[in-house]
Amino acid sequence: MQERIIKTEYSEVMQKNFIDYAMSVIVARALPDIRDGLKPVQRRVLYDMSELGLRYDRPYRKSARIVGDTMGKYHPHGDSSIYDSMVVMAQDFKKSVPLVDGHGNFGNIEGDGAAAMRYTEARLSRISQECFLSDLDKDVVDFIPNYDETEREPEVLPVKVPHFLINGSEGIAVGMATSTPPHNLAEAIDAEIALMKDPDLTTDQLMKYLKGPDFPTGGIVINADDLKEIYETGSGKIKLRGKVTTETEKNGHIRVVITEIPYTMIGAGIGKFLEDIASLAESKLTSDIIDISNQSSKEGVRIVVELKKDADVDYFTNLLYKKTKLEDSFGVNMLAIDHGRPETLSLKQILQASIDFQFETATRKYQTLLTKEQEKKEVQEGLIKACNVIDLVIEILRGSRDRAMAKNCLVNGVTEGIRFKTRESAAMAAQLMFTERQADAILEMRLYKLIGLELEALLKEHENTVANIYRYEDILSDRNSMSLTIQQELLMIKKEYGVPRRTVIDNIAEAVVVARPVEEYDVGFVMDRFGYAKTIDAASIEKNRDALETDFRFYFVCRNTGRIVVFTDTGNLYTIRAQDLPAGKLRDKGIPIDNVSNYDSSRERIVLAASQSDLNLYRVMFVTKLANCKIVNGGEFDVSKRTVAATKLMDGDEVVDVSILREQETMILETLDGFFLRFPVRDVPEKKKSAVGVRGMKLGREDFIRQVHYLAEGEERVITVDEKPVSLHALKIANRDGKGSRVIRK
């Protein structure tokens, strides 16, 4: 065969193949069918369990057996996806109506996963057996070949309830996702029956029957007014809250008890919720918490937060709603496969699709039953007729050479070759004219059927068959009659499996947390040489000034509601709330600044710590290692961000000194090589914090600024450098940007 090269645009090939892939994922894996509300993997698991005979009234079977059989026959996409799907269908905290009856560890509401499939067992739940699979033998749905065409599987299960609404669905496809909340089975059935009776019902009218979502975890829907739009458009957001109660202990402490959680908190959300409650205390949003405990068990959720005697319970509850996932949103997008296409459907469209499917399956079911009853009637009439001429039938059988000859006589009246006792018998035999089916039944009939009671039973059975045929023909010919039949079956399902609503539907105002007024007072901030900081009583600053000079790098008085700013040698500014620092005594250790800010002690060094309120009143002097100087208005550092750049640095430069300018008149730059330059502070220009600054001193090769000193007017000060005294006040005042004088010889 001659090779043909087809030239095509690469982008077109990619586009076509991606669309094919996307549709395959959408239709064949990720989205449920609106008719039975099941994804393919769920449908295949249930069908395989039915084929294995795992009825609700039979023993459990190993989950690994079910998963392996499903994967081998119907779903070749990996055992984990099959087992995960089966586990979810068995979890009563995820599904309003569990479809699988699991035996063993199938996980819990707190996020612990199910045991491996080799340890757990399962079987069909009763509702799956009776409402999802019971009519498969009546040709109610089409069967299609499996992936390798060695088996056949149902295209859809003949579900008798609006399952897409009842258990909801979640799935992510390519470019689209479905997220449908679960609903109450009894309410969904009532709504479907109401729509059957009056197809013109509006969403408002349907919601009189189906009031809203009904989550297995209970909780409270707090935006009832938004549900109408959600059910009309098929999408929106449902706001959920957990249920909170209060208890008072004998010692007067108050217990806030969470007995129901939002559906979105299932799994690891409970652990995160406990962490969030603890963080409320750590961030000092509340100081009322004494203890937190998770007392949840198989009986239900119970999370207990113990509060102080005088705690404001309403404030704390609102804090939980506002700052944790105790109030959360459930995004609704009721997307499903409808007639082979993904569609976002309204409540009425979903119910109507279920009704149409019920009529379709009912039509096929009763047509199959009618055909069987008609065949049964034909056989029964043949047997009754044969009993009336049983002597002639026996004579035909005894006179025939083989079965074919006897059957030919019974059906066509052919008497040739048959030995009759009399000519009258032969003449009567020629007039029998039974049907093929009747003749087979007569030839297979046992003699005990000729007993009087058996004949009476046959006549009674024939009467029942005729009545069934009449009933089935009435159902098939009259839509109202079929509708009543479907409604009766739905009411029986509701009576058998209906449960009271668990989720409360209400309109509740959004939780508002009004910040409590904080009593303001002065505190002392202290930080030692190792970067450990704390706040102390403001009076201790004056009382222990000598000790502070010796043991601490920075100390000052600030407000307890104020902020502390930290400048580093890398040019960064970190803001810390005074409330975030622990309060203690002077000799208490404190905590590292790293713990309450973004400061990293491993790569930078603190140059100055100061009160934000002080900076707002004064100007700030920056001096770098390469002798760049500038003055910045302190108000520029009044920022809300926790980390900002305090100054701009040249490559290889770093901040040596940051000082708040109060009464300083002159400044002295000291270099590593022992040069000193004294010049007026006013010679340094004021610039923005984003500027580099001006040169304050000319440096020799490999020399740099080591330290900066300041003198007020008339101040005298002597420092020691390399064990030699230096009188700073005696240094001659020069101009900025000079070389200075070498006071210390290296």
Q: Which residues are catalytic?
A: 119
DSSP per-residue codes, 101-143: EEES----TTSPPPPPTTT-EEEE-HHHHHHTSTTGGGT-S-E
Token pair listed for 326: 């105790």
CA distance 690 to 702: 26
Residue of 105, 72, 75 lying closest to 87 (CA atoms): 105
DSSP character at residue 664:
E
CA–CA gap between residue 97 and residue 102 (Å, rounded): 13
Spatial separation of the C-alpha atoms in residues 114 and 128, rounded to whole Å: 21
Per DSSP, what are the bridge partners of residue 705? 671
Report the C-alpha gap between 341 and 18 in whole angstroms.
17
Q: What is the CA radius of gyration of the chain?
A: 44
d(CA 269, CA 603): 36
- Phi, psi of 617, deg, nearest 5: -95, -20
Q: Please give the Cα distance from 168 to 88 (Å, whole number).
A: 12
**Is the Cα dihedral 276, 279, 281, 285 positive or negative?**
negative
Nearest residue to 399 (alpha-carbon basis) of 412, 411, 388, 408: 408
In SS3 terms, 632-660 reads as: EEHHHHCCCCCEEECCCCCCCCCEEEEEE
Residue by residue, DSSP assigns 332-358 as EE-EEEETTEEEE--HHHHHHHHHHHH
The answer to whether 349 touches 407, Cβ cutoff 8 Å, is no
Token digits of residue 181: 């909340």
Compute the distance between CA of residue 592 and CA of residue 599 in angstroms, rounded to an integer. 10
Query: For residue 414, which phi and psi values (nearest 5 degrees)?
Result: -80, 120
Number of Cβ within a 10 Å radius of residue 7: 4
Length of the chain measured in residues: 746
Q: Please give the order of strands across the beta sheet that includes 289-294.
A: 243-248, 254-260, 303-307, 289-294
Q: Which two tokens stand for residue 500?
A: 């009271």
In which order are the strands placed within the sheet that holds 572-577? 606-611, 563-568, 572-577, 643-645
